Structure 1
Amino acid sequence: MRNESAGPGVAGPTRMVELGRDEALALLAGAQVGRVVFSQRALPAVRPVNFAVRGTDVVFRVRGDSSFAGALDGNVVAFEADEVDPANRSGWSVVVTGLAEILDNGSEYARTLAVAPEPWAPGVHDRVVRVRAELVTGRRIART
């Protein structure tokens, strides 16, 4: 896809590039905040979280007693993160789709907790969510 009219003050056309799985996961690993898309009371819902990538899994912390944790556990979710440069009209977006699991004890919980960042939101976030990356898609808008 080409955009030949870059607009005032922006030099050159842009192009849309589909990202491979490895490149998309590498970009995702460099981001700090993303959005979880899940179903809440049969309606779509979105929540921002700070996160990390462990292997190909997206991991973040939640309060174990929250409705958010309950809506995630055992359900398919989408996770999206991006980086945008408005001045250059460029950036990227990566979406991971997979099963969300709540980890709350055992060695896998301890290993994942070690890499899941401390949430910015207040409160005790005593559970870790792991989203298994079953489908990874990404796109980049770049200058040609």
Structure 2
Amino acid sequence: MYDSAGLQVLSREECLELLDTAAVGRLVYTDKALPVVHPVVFVLDGECVVLRVPHGSATLASRDTIVAFQIDDIAPDLSRGWSVMAVGHVTEVEEASRLARLQQLPLASRGYGRGDHYLVVDLEVLTGRRIP
């Protein structure tokens, strides 16, 4: 299936496969009524995106809210590429057993020894497009 711009519409399964190929994405949220786009390291865990953010990071302003999450790989000449965007609730993981499991995931830290927070984005809406 193709959209009105002639881009191939990706299935949820294809979007999940592409999410599993990247390590850095963009978290989009509002802070003081203004839009913010923040690069974040992430890993796909089932149908959730897990983010590991440094203590005091601005992304913590997005806890328990609806956010967007986006990744892409597009050639500079637009000859090939794809983009995946998700929308869902983000929550900070504080439950000890779940946190211990997430800490075992292959997720790099950008922190500087002050401790990290683990955020989970439930992928409630997941869409993707590919340049044919």
Shift of 1:134: 0.3
> For residue 27 of structure 1, what is the aligned residue in structure 2?
18
Write the deviation string for residues 43-83 of structure 1: whole angstroms up to 9, x where unpaired: 100000111100010011113433421x1110000000011
Aligned match for 1:16, one of 4, 7, 26: 7
Which of 79, 84, 100 is the equivalent residue of 2:90? Answer: 100
Consecutive unaligned residues in structure 2, runs of 5 or more: none
Q: CA–CA distance in 2 between the matches of 1:103 and 1:30? A: 23
Runs of 4+ residues deviating >4 angstroms: none
The alignment covers a number of residue pairs equal to: 129
Gaps of 5+ in 1: 3-14
Paired residue type of 1:36: L
**TM-score normalized with structure 1 length:** 0.80
What does 1:59-138 align with in structure 2 at a 5 Å threshold? Answer: 59-69=50-60, 71-87=61-77, 89-115=79-105, 117-119=107-109, 121-124=110-113, 125-138=115-128
The one-letter amino acid of 2:38's match is R
Give the percent of matched residue pairs that are identical in Structure 1 and Structure 2: 36
User: Quick one: distance in 2 between partners of 1:127 and 1:87?
Assistant: 38
RMSD of aligned C-alpha atoms?
Answer: 2.1
Deviation at 1:112, TM superposition (A): 1.6
Normalised to the residue count of structure 2, the TM-score between the two structures is 0.87
